[in-house]
Amino acid sequence: MNDKEHDELQEEQATTEETGTSESAAAPDEDLQQDHDRLKETTEKLWGSTKTAWCTATFKASQYKRLVQKKIDLAALHKKIDAAHADLGKLIDDMREAGRKSIMTQKEVKEVLTNLDNLKEDAAILEEEVENIKEETPTAETSSPDEQP
């Protein structure tokens, strides 16, 4: 083998080594990129699940708070209705003992009955609101806080 052939052989080996080195260097870079992409995807899924859980929890807490407040208001209204019933009964009994006739047409009785009707209407409205709150579900707006102003 002469010097020229020997030099060519060395150049081919050097080229092969460089190519082999660059291919092996490319493979780890691709693996690292794929690992990074998988990690990023997993992190995004985890964050998405966390946001969804957080939004659902805050919605349920708010719903519960409003529900409890409406039930408190409803209980207070029922106490007023019970008091109005007691007032009506006492008023009728007092009028009967006094010997008054046509008790149901008396002005005081009509006022108590009107008050009772109003209280019952308010109670029906509150009961309907309670049912509406119970049926509420999170919407797209409440489940993605990033989009809210």
pLDDT for the residue numbered 66 = 95
Question: pLDDT (tens digit, 9 = 90+) per residue, 4-41?
Answer: 666 666 666 666 555 554 444 456 788 888 888 899 89
6 belongs to a structural domain: no
Taking only Cα atoms into account, the Rg of the chain, rounded to an integer number of angstroms, comes to 41
Q: What's the CA angle centered on 148, arms 142 and 149, to 5 degrees?
A: 150
108 belongs to a structural domain: yes
54 belongs to a structural domain: no
Q: Domain of 120? A: 77-137
Q: Is the pTM of this model over 0.85?
A: no
Q: How many domains does the chain have?
A: 1
22 belongs to a structural domain: no
Distances (CA, A) of 77 to 12, 16, 34, 114: 97, 91, 64, 15
Question: pLDDT (tens digit, 9 = 90+) per residue, 75-115?
Answer: 999 999 999 999 999 999 999 999 988 888 999 999 999 99
81 belongs to a structural domain: yes
24 belongs to a structural domain: no
50 belongs to a structural domain: no
83 belongs to a structural domain: yes
